[in-house]
Structure 1
């Protein structure tokens, strides 16, 4: 903030386009830092009764809004500017923040994890217990900055409920201990020839 104030003073005194551009860059850093701080604070103070799955999406949503504003600002500068420096700065701003918009849109709409990551999750579940007969489905999709994971595990049909419960609970805890995963849901079944439980089709591994 001190550096930004000094740059504002220097911009006013000198009128230099280079210093003005540097001042604008410092302003953007401050604004983006404030958004990250605010969203992090908001996530920590989440009310579990109003937001039962937390507020993980606050951070990408805040960045998305800010990035959209900055991309629009860059376009406005292009339309109004006749100076080469401002034009170049506007092109850079639009390109940078447009990429940020796309990145955060993907994290909000539930984009699937990479095949390599899904294979890692499948390996973890398959080697969890010798009683696991089949891994029916493994899904991992973005939920804000983290993943939600859904796994269908097939166990013997005559296994007691208590034992099946313990086998299913353990991989859930393992999955949720991974830093990229927010929540994991493990569904237990005794066969895998039925139709998917959900009406909408999903990619499966």
Structure 2
């Protein structure tokens, strides 16, 4: 998890990184109480609209395309240009009202919802067909390289069915029994998917190594089964189409992200399997089991990395620093009643974020007003894309020890 303590001086420094700071607090007319938007990680590089409130003069630090073009021409200018492009994205995200962030995310999600369903169903149906095709090719050719591609296809199909069931289950969980919803269930499903893929390829790796050591045939090459090679090549073509289709949708759904990774892996697996199987038939016999070993090793490493990334999400990995900056800026400009930002924490709880925010108000602020401001801020943060839950705590000073026991020394 990530925690940061910010006061007014810190916000002035943040403003100075992009442009000259405006002393004092912004007026209520320029507060960010009416904004929304897209995740900062997907912010656009368009110019910042002048109608957006800018109490800290962040817009002064925005670099125009002409400025960036001039920087790129200088020595070492490309790295500097990339820095300012990233800063432009941050400025645009900070100044965009939170309503626009949320509306953009809803429109993007709505426009891609049908495409996501197509990607999921197309992958499922294709994997069922390819499972039969590739297992037939592997059995007919008796090639270990093609067998490894066939086994991968079998587990693609079964794992797709598991993911489909978990996705449906997550969307229809009993809120009374599972108050936090089913988002974590998808992450758990991704881990199970990777575990199954890794496990079966350990078996393939061991069997291929045994085949090389035992050398059950005295022939220098294996028999060539052209039909099997053509069938697996056709499977490669289908996977290429699915890979290209899922590529643009992989950020819209964690399920499509996993399917895209699977199609990406299958392109290498099927292509390499065909080459090594043909090599075992035309060059030297051990290229076939060696190809199966290399394919299995690739799958084990690839899915091991995916499992690690998914475990990080369940374990509470911190949100990106840019996202935390967005929360800080939106909170400090939300209302004149908020004097300081004491602590901000944003961390994963599954694919989305939990946000913990401690704000400071005057000790004279009426309880009803403090409650209303905090509740509205919480609602605004929870409406941001990628945020599953937000908690806003109100205090009147910053000199106390952390309220939560786990953060105390």
Give TM-score scaled by structure 1 length. 0.90
Which residue among 114, 129, 136 is the counterpart of 1:9? 136
Q: CA deviation at 1:18?
A: 4.8
What is the root-mean-square deviation of aligned Cα atoms in Å? Answer: 1.8
Residues 169 and 186, structure 1, Cα contact 8 Å, conserved in 2 = yes
Counterpart of 1:133 in structure 2 is 339
Structure 1 counterpart of 2:175: 48
Aligned to 1:47, the other structure's residue is in SS state coil
Please report how far the alpha carbon of residue 44 of structure 1 lies from its aligned counterpart in structure 2 after TM superposition. Answer: 1.3
Where 1:171 maps in the other structure, the secondary structure is: helix
Deviation at 1:110, TM superposition (A): 0.8
1:189 maps to what in 2? 395
Aligned length: 202
DSSP 3-state at the match of 1:48:
coil
Which blocks of at least 5 consecutive residues in structure 2 are unaligned?
1-127, 210-288
Q: Is the 8 A contact 2:313 2:350 kept in 1?
A: yes
Per the normalisation by structure 2, the TM-score is 0.47
Worse-superposed segment, 109-118 or 18-27: 18-27
Q: Which shifted more, 18-27 or 137-146?
A: 18-27
Q: Measure, in 2, the Cα distance between the counterparts of 1:122 and 1:29.
A: 43
Q: Which residue of 2 aligns with 1:74?
A: 201
Check whether the contact 2:145–2:292 (CA below 8 A) recurs between aligned residues: no
Structure ranking higher in strand proportion: 1
Match of 1:87 in 2: 293
Higher alpha-carbon deviation: 58-67 or 180-189: 58-67
1:120 corresponds to which of 305, 326, 336:
326
| Deviation at residue 17 of structure 1 after TM alignment | 4.2
Whole-Å separation in 2 of the counterparts to 1:21 and 1:185: 49
Contact 1:35 1:63 in 2 (8 A): no
Shift of 1:175: 1.1
The answer as to whether partners of 1:32 and 1:63 remain within 8 angstroms in 2 is no
**Cα distance, 1:23 vs. partner?**
2.5
- Mapped to 2, the partners of 1:38 and 1:72 lie a distance apart of 21
